[in-house]
């Protein structure tokens, strides 16, 4: 299990440049005019995790298979998108299909790159996009509630639950707030997710700054940081231009380039970590001579469900999970050493998998 993150923002804020960097391709045309991205570009990238390389080295694994993450470069939204302005409705439909939103905000000054509103104000830009998504949600809710009237008269339980949740979302939106702020009970979570409202998607603000500000940020990114903190959202500071340059370099050259820019790691790494945190994801590993592999799960996943990420039979026939914590695996130079040191544990169905666990599942066929 990976996750799909949609890259959104106003035209000419650096979305396609960032996408090119993330996927190490030039598939998305990065041009200085609005709507250069018409169809959403989709790219899969490896999730960088040094722990996987370390484990593979210890186990002498023949293959290394990282976790994967999907990015969708969605064309630029504009004011009025909810009413079909620009290429609005098409893009709103693309957003419904992603798990989270990476909202790219222009935090750089450059007279050669046109801003669709003629000024640089990332907080106002963020508000423009959020408003369009909220208006689209309100329109969707009104139509859906109208379509539920007949079922409600027939006392349909599912329709009653759906209408109640839609009403709560509508009240929040009419109060000028996104639907993600609605407090949803556990028994309603599945139905709530099925509503697929745009403003329930978690948001990560990506501050796209100039190359010489990539390590420190600037006054624009500082304002975004304040806004994100007030909303309970996250933000990262990235120079999309730098990321695109790094993506074309060999590993040693990239490391030297990062050092010269005062950066410890590529922005991709920060972006993915922030994305993982946003969706409450973590990684466990399976390691052996044939392959070392990373698997993505939700925080709080129990052992049988974690096994099911590999194959449904593993979950259905789950017996137990032989588990070694990452640090114990490394400290004892692999599975055999960890076993001899008493660091391998037999965990049952009630075990909550921890980030970094090295696991081997036993199951009935």
Q: Is residue 94 part of an annotated ligand binding site?
A: no
CA distances from 292 to 118, 228, 249, 257, 359 (A): 50, 37, 26, 29, 11
Residue 262, pLDDT above cutoff 90? no
Residue pair 179/173 in contact (Cβ under 8 Å)? The answer is yes
Instruction: Kindly state the DSSP code that residue 12 receives in the 8-state scheme.
Output: T
Model pTM score? 0.81
CA distance 85 to 321: 53
Residue pair 211/239 in contact (Cβ under 8 Å)? The answer is yes
Which pLDDT tens digit goes with each residue over 124-152? 999 988 998 899 899 999 999 999 999 99
Q: Is the dihedral of CA 276, 141, 35, 43 positive or negative?
A: positive
> How does residue 32 score in pLDDT terms, banded at 50, 70 and 90?
very low
CB atoms within 10 A of CB 128: 20
CA distance 61 to 165: 49
Q: Average pLDDT for residues 1-22, to the nearest whole number?
A: 82
pLDDT for the residue 261: 83
Q: Average pLDDT for residues 248-277, to the nearest whole number?
A: 84
Instruction: Kindly state the DSSP code that residue 302 receives in the 8-state scheme.
Output: B
Q: Is residue 111 part of an annotated ligand binding site?
A: no
Structural tokens at position 214 = 């990539």
Q: Is residue 16 part of an annotated ligand binding site?
A: yes
pLDDT for the residue 77: 61
Please provide the average confidence, as pLDDT, over all residues in the chain. 86
CA distance 5 to 43: 10
Domains identified in the chain and CATH numbers: 4-278 (3.40.50.300), 300-363 (3.10.20.30)
Determine whether 54 is exposed, middle or buried from the number of CB atoms within 10 Å of its CB (0-12, 13-18, 19+). middle
Q: What is the percent of the chain with per-residue pLDDT over 70, rounded to a whole number?
A: 88
Q: Average pLDDT for residues 211-228, to the nearest whole number?
A: 92
pLDDT for the residue 31: 39
Q: Is residue 193 part of an annotated ligand binding site?
A: no
CA distance 87 to 84: 6
Q: Is residue 234 part of an annotated ligand binding site?
A: no
Q: What is the percent of the chain with per-residue pLDDT over 90, rounded to a whole number?
A: 54
Residue pair 246/258 in contact (Cβ under 8 Å)? The answer is yes
Residue pair 356/328 in contact (Cβ under 8 Å)? The answer is no
46: phi then psi, degrees, rounded to nearest 5 = -75, 145
Q: Is residue 15 part of an annotated ligand binding site?
A: yes
CB-based contacts of 324, cutoff 8 Å, min separation 6 = 335, 338, 343, 344, 345, 357, 358, 359
């Amino acid at each position: 299990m990976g996750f799909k993150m949609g890259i959104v923002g106003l035209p000419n804020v650096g979305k396609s440049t960032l996408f090119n960097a993330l996927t190490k391709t030039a598939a998305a045309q990065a041009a200085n005019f609005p709507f250069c991205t018409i169809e959403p570009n989709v790219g899969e990238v490896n999730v960088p995790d040094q722990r996987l390389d370390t484990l593979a080295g210890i186990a002498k694994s023949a293959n290394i298979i990282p976790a994967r993450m999907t990015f969708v470069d969605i064309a630029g939204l504009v004011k009025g998108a909810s009413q079909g302005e620009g290429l609005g409705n098409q893009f709103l439909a693309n957003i419904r299909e992603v798990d989270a939103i990476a909202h790219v905000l222009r935090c750089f000054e450059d007279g050669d790159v046109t801003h669709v509103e003629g000024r640089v104000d990332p907080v106002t830009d963020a508000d423009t996009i959020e408003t369009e998504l909220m208006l689209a949600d309100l329109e969707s809710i009104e139509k859906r509630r109208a379509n539920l009237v007949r079922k409600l008269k027939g006392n349909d339980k599912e329709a009653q639950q759906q209408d109640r949740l839609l009403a709560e979302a509508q009240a929040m939106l009419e109060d000028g707030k996104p639907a993600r702020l609605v407090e949803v009970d556990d028994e309603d979570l599945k139905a709530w997710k099925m509503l697929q409202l745009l403003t329930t998607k978690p948001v990560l603000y990506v501050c796209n700054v100039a190359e010489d500000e990539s390590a420190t940020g600037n006054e624009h990114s500082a304002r975004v940081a304040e806004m994100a903190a007030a909303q309970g959202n996250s933000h990262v500071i990235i120079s999309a231009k730098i990321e695109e340059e790094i993506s074309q370099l060999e590993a040693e050259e990239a490391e030297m380039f990062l050092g010269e820019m005062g950066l410890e790691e590529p922005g991709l790494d920060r972006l993915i970590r922030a994305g993982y945190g946003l969706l409450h994801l973590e990684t466990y590993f399976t390691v052996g001579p044939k392959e070392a592999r990373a698997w993505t799960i939700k925080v709080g996943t129990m052992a049988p469900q974690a096994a099911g990420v590999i194959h449904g039979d593993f979950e259905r026939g789950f017996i137990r999970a032989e588990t070694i914590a990452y640090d114990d695996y490394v400290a004892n130079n692999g599975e055999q050493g960890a076993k001899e040191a008493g660091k391998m544990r037999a965990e049952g169905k009630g075990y909550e998998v921890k980030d970094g666990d090295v696991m081997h599942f036993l199951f009935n066929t």
